[in-house]
Amino acid sequence: MQMLRADVAIIGGGLGACAAALAASRLGRRVILTEETQWVGGQLTNQAVPPDEHPWIEEFGATATYRALRRGIRDYYRSYLPLTSSARADSRLNPGNGWVSRLCHDPRVAVAVLHQMMAPHQLNGRLFVMHPYRPLRAWTHGDRVAGVEVRGLASGRDWLIEAPFFIDATPYGELLELANVEHVVGAEARAETGEPHAAVQADPRDQQAITVCYAVEYLPGEDHTIDKPRQYDLWRDFHPPGWPGRLLGWTTVRPQTGEPLTRLLFEAEDERPWWHFRRILDRTNFDEDFSPSDITVVNWPQNDYWFGPVVVVDSAEQARNTAAARELSLSLLYWLQTEAPRPDGGMGYSGLHLRRDVVGGTADGLAPAPYVRESRRLRAEFTVIEQHIAYPLRADGPEIFNDSVGIGCYRIDLHPRVSGAGYLDIGCWPFQIPLGAMIQVRVENVLPGGKNLGVTHITNGAYRLHPVEWNIGESAGLLAAYCLERDTVPRAVRNDPELLEEFQAPVPSRNRAPLAVAFTSLTRCHHEFGCVGHTTPHRDFRFVRRHESRRRSDPRGHSEPASSDGACRHHRPFQKSVGHTDTPQDRARDFSTTADEKGDDCGVTGPGPADSRWRWHSVRPRRGGVRPGGLHRARTECPRMCLCHQRRTTHAAQREASRS
């Protein structure tokens, strides 16, 4: 067995792994990254999932390097592909115009851009990427992991990797298992976490569905029907309990309400057909002769596999369930090609062509790895629970973590689970990533690089998405490099106020993530206007109560009475109609019915930032307080001036408080 040594070893090549490698390498550390498939990038690439992001990702709420990744993807299309003049000029180019994401793109482009970002560090010798390599076992010494053995899947050669710090960025949290690091998997009991939506009893097998994605194009008049899958008859006739019909059918359920929802391939009752859902190539963005068809990724409720777990089971059961998930995806494609009802009364779309090249040319044409929504999770010093971030449970904002190392925003979004529990979709405040959730209760030198931080089965639903995973990985890489620089351990950084303050400080060389979102008021306005908070790199996470005045006057001479809680009824937070009450039950109801709108995945709504009448302000951190004029975007023509007037008085009060 040969040996390799580095400062930081990253086991697994997910999206967080790439962020961690870039962060540690940028600070001069020697990094080894191993990945089991041919592609790094995890859910963005080898799992073939375009980025799921919050509505304001174009303007704030992500790290600088994640922005560089998104910018690099768009620049790649502009540099190498024949875009139309209008698409090329679009600063917010969405190559596929899929409605689930503002950047639906081909996974091969993401692979290319990730390699471009890592190439300087590979060329100067600081970053060594090994793939395809699978972790086999780990060696420990006391409360530290000393080494990890990996095997080359092509060569069969084993290597021992030694490093002072290890980051687990595998899709299943495999290093935690191999090194006997205390962890949690599946659902916790309500008695343990106190979460309203937790299971009555803990069940490690109760995990979210996995999905094996694939890409297709549609060529009418041609026949590209695949061979009949071995398990097709089983899946075609399968009617899951609680589902409105057969699993392979056009009618699914609304995640927010559980009501039946019918969408066809090119038509839908909500005007959002499946073809446009995760479309990664829209022909109208390219020259006329560039492509004969759009290309879309099939990651739908119909190919969610929740009929057996893939974590905390033996390798044989994991292989069986993964194979069954692949059979389900192939069966869905075969059904689409042969038996899916068409609006014209016919059956099947035989022109659907499986684009195996889009996902790397796998033997069955499906993504190399399943989309994994849930992994093993650290038994951490601090665990984020539903009560910290769920909007219906917190009227005044999320829990504020003084040890924040990043931010995120997404709804608590759980897909059907092995226990039979259906969708869980809860509105969620923008939240912080606490350092305590990245520190294991015992082991000193293992950090999470993705979904495996200290969250619960419930809150994992908000922390599992692309920009949050990137932020977690980047924070892990920065933390490992900082600990090497200071000759300390992550636990000491969290528990020593001076070290914590130094680590959180916005040092240019670290290029670190924003640590908080500051709001004057986080609201939804019902007459096309609204004001939403802006990201700040400052540690303070300040929420100002909504409105204080009893009566407001608008510029048109009308007078608007305040509601019983002092909030102008045109800026009541997140409610769907004017005049709603604001009880916890109403907030829960309102939040359960808004996520199906484009861009509302995080549960917070507001007008798009493309409007030229918005003005943006930079944020300047200030010790002991928040500087005025930097935390908002405010519309200059807002017909209800409550926010625009309120923020000045609020900041004046904050300044006085900070001086005192």
Q: What is the pTM of this model?
A: 0.81
Of 28-42, 283-297, 564-578, minimum mean pLDDT range = 564-578
Look at residue 648 and tell me whether its pLDDT is greater than 90.
no
Residues 173 and 33 occupy one common structural domain? yes
Q: Is residue 205 part of a domain?
A: no
Q: Which two tokens stand for residue 287?
A: 């020259």
Among 446, 480, 504, the domain-final residue is: 504
The pLDDT value given to residue 21:
98
Q: What is the pLDDT of residue 529?
A: 20
Residue 657 pLDDT grade (very low, low, confident, very high; cuts 50, 70, 90):
low
Q: 568 - beta bridge partners? A: 562
Q: Are residues 18 and 107 in the same domain?
A: yes
- Which of 461, 474, 405 lies closest to 437, judged by CA? 405
- On whether residue 510 sits in a domain, the answer given is no
Indicate whether 330 and 395 sit together in one domain. no
Contacts (Cβ under 8 Å, ≥6 apart) of 454: 377, 378, 379, 380, 381, 382, 383, 384, 436, 437, 438, 439, 448
224 and 332 in a single domain? The answer is yes
Residues 137 and 53 in one domain: yes
Task: For strands 214-218 and 295-298, give the pairing.
Answer: antiparallel
- Determine the residue type at 641: M
Average pLDDT of span 253-273: 92
Mean pLDDT to the nearest integer, 461-484: 97
Examine the pLDDT at 417 and tell me if it is beyond 70. Answer: yes
**Distance in angstroms (rounded) separating the CA atoms of residues 131 and 13:** 9
Let me know whether 465 and 535 are in one domain: no
Question: Within a domain: residue 365?
Answer: no
Structure token digits, residue 90? 């679009």
Q: Domain range spanning residue 532?
A: 516-589+601-659
Q: State whether 423 and 542 are in the same domain.
A: no
pLDDT-derived band at 59 (thresholds 50, 70, 90) equals confident
Alpha-helix residue ranges (DSSP H) falling in 522-601 = 584-591
- In order of 148, 464, 524, 628, the CA distances from 591 in angstroms are 44, 19, 12, 31
Mean pLDDT of 76-104: 97
Confidence band (pLDDT; 50, 70, 90) for 626? very low
- Tokens for 643? 């926010």
Q: Is residue 596 part of a domain?
A: no
Q: Could you say which of 312, 335, 359 is where a domain stops?
A: 359
Look-up of token digits 């704030």: 60
For the record, the structure tokens of 538 come out as 């400052």
Instruction: Kindly list the distances between the CA atom of residue 475 and the CA atoms of 23, 25, 63, 285, in Å, as whole numbers in the listed order.
Output: 8, 13, 10, 36
Q: Are residues 287 and 148 in the same domain?
A: no
Q: How confident is the model at residue 538 (pLDDT cuts 50, 70, 90)?
A: very low
Q: CA-to-CA distance for 589 and 268, rounded, in angstroms?
A: 24
Whether the upstream peptide bond of residue 132 has omega within 30° of 0, thus cis, is: yes
Is residue 544 scored above 90 in pLDDT? no
**35 and 55 part of one domain:** yes
Q: How far apart are CA 89 and CA 324, in angstroms?
A: 44
Q: What is the DSSP letter of 428?
A: B
Question: For the residues 488-504, what does the mean pLDDT come to?
Answer: 97
pLDDT averaged over the chain?
82
DSSP string of 237-252? T---TT-SS-SSSSEE
Q: How confident is the model at residue 1 (pLDDT cuts 50, 70, 90)?
A: confident
CATH number, residue 90 = 3.50.50.60
Output Rg (C-alpha) for the chain, integer angstroms. Answer: 25
The answer as to whether 338 is a domain residue is yes
Q: For residue 656, what pLDDT is reported?
A: 53
Taking alpha carbons only, the member of 472, 474, 444, 475 closest to residue 460 is 472
Which of 73-77, 210-214, 255-259 bottoms out in mean pLDDT, i.e. has the lowest? 255-259
Beta bridge partners of 441: none
In a domain, 494, yes or no: yes
Domain tally, the chain:
3
